[in-house]
Amino acid sequence: MTGSLPHAPDDTPREPGQSNPLVRQGWIQRRREKVVAEIERNRRGDYKVPTWVLAVALAVVVLAWVALIIFG
């Protein structure tokens, strides 16, 4: 009786590299919920500095320090 069970729609065979549309939809929904939650936090004043801003600030400080050593 093995092999007689029907496959769920998300178990269909796919070509290599082809993503599952149901998984993709779930990722989009979770991402949207995170963005909405962040916007709500920011409106309440409970915001934090994004990681990319901190990374850019660190890079500027390090580059300025290196420039000071090389050209100073």
Q: Higher-confidence residue: 63 or 44?
A: 63
Q: How far apart are CA 60 and CA 53, in angstroms?
A: 11
Which residues span the domain enclosing 23? 19-71
DSSP 63: H
Closest CA to 38 of 54, 51, 55: 51
Please indicate, yes or no, if residue 32 is contained in any of the structural domains. yes
Domain count, the chain: 1
Looking at the domain assignment, is residue 4 inside a domain? no
- Mean pLDDT computed over every residue of the chain: 79
- What phi and psi values does residue 27 have, to the nearest 5 degrees? -65, -45
pLDDT of residue 14: 59
Predicted local distance difference test score (pLDDT) of residue 59: 98
Residue 24 placed within a domain: yes
Average pLDDT over residues 20-25: 71
Chain segment 25-45, per-residue pLDDT in tens: 888 899 999 999 988 887 888
Looking at the domain assignment, is residue 37 inside a domain? yes
**Which SS3 state, helix, strand or coil, does residue 3 take?**
coil
3-state SS class at 2: coil
Give the separation between CA 53 and CA 59, rounded to whole angstroms.
10
